[in-house]
Amino acid sequence: MLRLSFIVATIFLLAMVAGCTNPQETSTSAVIMITATPRLVIVTSTAAPIPTPTPTATPAPLPELDSITIENANQIVELQRFWIPGFDENIEGQCSVAFTPDSSRLAAACNNVVIPLWDLRRGTLARTFEGIGNLWKSIDISPGGEIIAGGGYDDSVTLWNVISSEILLNITVDAGIVREVAFSPEGDALASVSQHGQILLLDVVSGKQLQVLPGHQVRINSVEFHPEGSLIVSGGGDNSAKIWDLLTGEEILSLEGPNFYVEDVEFSPKGDLVVGASDDHRLYLWDAITGELLVALSGHYGPVNGATFSPDGSMVLSGSNDRTFRLWDVNERTEIRSISAHNDLVLRPGFSPDSKLIATISWDGTVAVWGVPSDNRE
């Protein structure tokens, strides 16, 4: 997500979507801004936003839900919407969401001083987490659900007890803005990446540095562990993703293809694939064993800020500057559905562990929760 000054030309596009019965489906008419760069053409919609529901003081509790599948994705509806407390719209940066392991609660980080944890079953704010003067960009919840980790603008990573909101550790990493944090599958280590280009592995109990990987030598935007915990994948400002062996500390694969920054990366649940979201408007799927680029998925008309696999690995969920989130069929390598979710950029979305919920987060200052109510069955 870059804010750069380039040569700009404007064209007008009138498009009607035939047979669109869902008011949240994209789109009707648009003014398209085309920004020319030597490597890329960035297309950004300046159309009037589709009206987005305003969060209520107390969103409704969740109804009975079906698991989200390829077959019922056309029945996804918005269930809840929350304001992000303390959200600062004047600061650019990534935003992220994290579900608890039982899928009942949701946390969000988006340039906010206070991290909220919502009880989705009741539609209420369960508790908040406050650090030491930080603005949070990234969060993760440990596999056991007992610890929440946050990273942000003050060169530090903070760990809290989920039940008590007590700060367990505040670790100064001296690495610039912390762009993402991620727990290991066992929950005993935390990976942290920053604008200074290194990957740090931290001990969750002591806060000590376990390992420092050289990274991309430029800004790193994203990091995730392999499901087995032996590898890490990172994505950064050198237009690539990289896979690292934690035993040797060496880079074992460089995943090429994107023409612009890689904003988000993740291993598939089986560990055989890697998905990457890029500012060149595409999603990329790589073979995690060979590094082969399998497909570049086009559909978004703005930088893609986030990408994640569904828990069963059959779908990829993405969020973009075009204000939509989209679902993609991994096997068929096609788009399943696009939904206009917010009035501003959609950042890193998330799937709940039980596959019944999707959470989207945006610079419009809201988090929306989506699913397929059981009474919507056809």
Instruction: Classify residue 51: in a domain, yes or no.
Output: no
Mean pLDDT of all residues in the chain?
Answer: 85
Instruction: Classify residue 188: in a domain, yes or no.
Output: yes
Query: How would residue 93 be classed by pLDDT, with cut points 50, 70 and 90?
Result: confident
Q: What is the dihedral of CA 84, 88, 93, 94, to 10 degrees?
A: 0
pLDDT > 70? residue 94: yes
Query: How would residue 173 be classed by pLDDT, with cut points 50, 70 and 90?
Result: confident
**Which of 316, 303, 307 is closest to 345 using CA atoms?**
303
Query: How would residue 132 be classed by pLDDT, with cut points 50, 70 and 90?
Result: confident
Distance (Å, rounded) from C-alpha 27 to C-alpha 68? 23
In the chain, pLDDT over 90 holds for what percent of residues? 70
| Total structural domains within the chain | 1
**What is the pLDDT at residue 34?**
31
pLDDT > 90? residue 82: yes
Instruction: Classify residue 335: in a domain, yes or no.
Output: yes
Instruction: Classify residue 72: in a domain, yes or no.
Output: yes
Instruction: Tell me the residue range of the domain where 221 lies.
Output: 65-376
Specify the higher pLDDT residue, 351 or 14. 351
Distance (Å, rounded) from C-alpha 360 to C-alpha 327? 12
pLDDT > 90? residue 57: no
Q: What is the dihedral of CA 75, 76, 77, 82, to 10 degrees?
A: 170
- Beta pairing class for 324-329 and 334-340: antiparallel
**What is the pLDDT at residue 218?**
86
Distance (Å, rounded) from C-alpha 187 to C-alpha 176? 24
Query: How would residue 258 be classed by pLDDT, with cut points 50, 70 and 90?
Result: very high
Distance (Å, rounded) from C-alpha 45 to C-alpha 52? 16
pLDDT > 50? residue 43: no
Instruction: Classify residue 74: in a domain, yes or no.
Output: yes
Task: Over range 263-287, report the average pLDDT.
Answer: 97
Task: Over range 30-49, report the average pLDDT.
Answer: 34
Query: How would residue 27 be classed by pLDDT, with cut points 50, 70 and 90?
Result: very low
**What is the pLDDT at residue 84?**
92
Minimum mean pLDDT among 69-83, 204-218, 343-357: which range?
204-218
**Which of 97, 78, 32 is closest to 319 using CA atoms?**
97
Task: Over range 229-237, report the average pLDDT.
Answer: 96
Instruction: Classify residue 107: in a domain, yes or no.
Output: yes
**What is the pLDDT at residue 54?**
62
Distance (Å, rounded) from C-alpha 251 to C-alpha 324? 34
pTM of the entire predicted model: 0.85
pLDDT > 50? residue 225: yes
Task: Over range 214-219, report the average pLDDT.
Answer: 82
**What is the pLDDT at residue 19?**
32
Specify the higher pLDDT residue, 228 or 39. 228
pLDDT > 90? residue 155: no
CA triplet 294, 195, 89: central angle to 5 degrees?
Answer: 95
**What is the pLDDT at residue 56?**
59
Task: Over range 90-99, report the average pLDDT.
Answer: 84
Task: Over range 231-248, report the average pLDDT.
Answer: 95
Q: Which two tokens stand for residue 120?
A: 């989705």
Domain CATH for 69: 2.130.10.10
Instruction: Classify residue 6: in a domain, yes or no.
Output: no
pLDDT > 70? residue 378: no
Task: Over range 214-235, report the average pLDDT.
Answer: 93
Instruction: Classify residue 32: in a domain, yes or no.
Output: no
Minimum mean pLDDT among 42-51, 57-66, 82-91: which range?
42-51
Query: How many other CB atoms are there within 10 angstroms of residue 345's CB atom?
Result: 20
